[in-house]
Chain A
Amino acid sequence: MSTSLTFRMGQYEAEFPTDRQYAWNHMWAQRRGDAIRFGLTAYAVRLLQDVYFLDWTVAPGAALQLRQEIGSIESKKAESALFAPIAGVLVMVNEELLLDPSTINADKYGEGWLLEIRGASDGLLPPEQYLEHLAEVWPLAQRTIKGQLNE
Chain B
Amino acid sequence: MMTRRFSVVLSCGQTLHPERQALEEQLADQLAQAGQCDVLVVPHLYDLNAAGPGVAALQDLGGDLAVLAWLSPRASHWILDRNGIRGRRGRTRLDEDEKLAADEGQSKAAKGTGRVAATRDLPDRTIYCLDLRRHRSPQPYLDAIRQVIPAVPAREAGGEVHAVRRIEEPVGRRWYPVVDYSRCTDCMECIDFCLFGVYGVDEAEHVLVELPDNCRKGCPACSRVCPENAIMFPQHKTPAIAGDLRETGGLKLDLSSLFGAAEGLLNDLDVAVRERDEHLLIAGQRPAGKADPVPKPRASETGSWGDDLDKLIDRLDAMDL
Contacts and interface: CB of A to CB of B under 8 A. Distances in A.
Interface of A: 9-12, 24-26, 44, 46-49, 52-53, 55-59, 62-63, 65, 67-72, 74, 76-83, 98, 100-102, 136-137, 139-146, 148-149, 151
B236 to A, nearest CB: 9
Contacts of B303: 139, 143
Interface of B: 14-17, 173, 175, 217-219, 235, 237, 249-250, 252-262, 278, 281-282, 294, 300-303, 305, 307-313, 315-316, 319, 321
Contact of A67 (B252, B281, B294, B302): B294
A25 B259 contact: yes
A57 B218 contact: yes
Nearest to B275: A69
A145 to B, nearest CB: 5
A46 B309 contact: yes
A12 B175 CA distance: 38
A55 B301 contact: no
Contacts of B313: 49, 77
Contacts of A57: 175, 217-219
Given A79-B253, A83-B260, A149 B17 contact: no
B305 A143 contact: yes
6 contacts: A10-B310, A57-B218, A58-B217, A81-B237, A142-B312, A149-B316
Contact of B254 (A46, A76, A80): A80
Contact of A69 (B15, B252, B261): B261
A23 B256 CA distance: 15
Given A47-B258, A56-B217, A146-B312, 11 more contacts: A10-B308, A49-B313, A57-B218, A67-B262, A74-B252, A80-B259, A82-B259, A82-B260, A139-B301, A148-B250, A149-B253
Contacts of A144: 255, 257-258
Contacts of A47: 255, 258, 309
Contacts of B235: 55
Contacts of A148: 250, 253-254
Nearest to A57: B218
Contact of A52 (B15, B237, B261, B319): B15
Given A77-B321, A100-B16, A83 B261 contact: yes
Contact of A79 (B249, B252, B300): B252
Contact of A145 (B14, B218, B312): B312
B218 A141 contact: no
Contacts of A77: 252-253, 313, 316, 321
Contacts of A58: 217-218, 282
Q: Which of A10, A71, A151 has the most CB of B within 10 A?
A: A10
A137 B16 CA distance: 31
B312 A79 contact: no
B249 A141 contact: no
Contacts of A48: 255
A89 B259 CA distance: 20
Contacts of A101: 16
B298 to A, nearest CB: 8
B281 A80 contact: no
Given A52-B15, A76-B321, A149-B316, A142 B300 contact: no
Nearest to B217: A57
B254 A26 contact: no
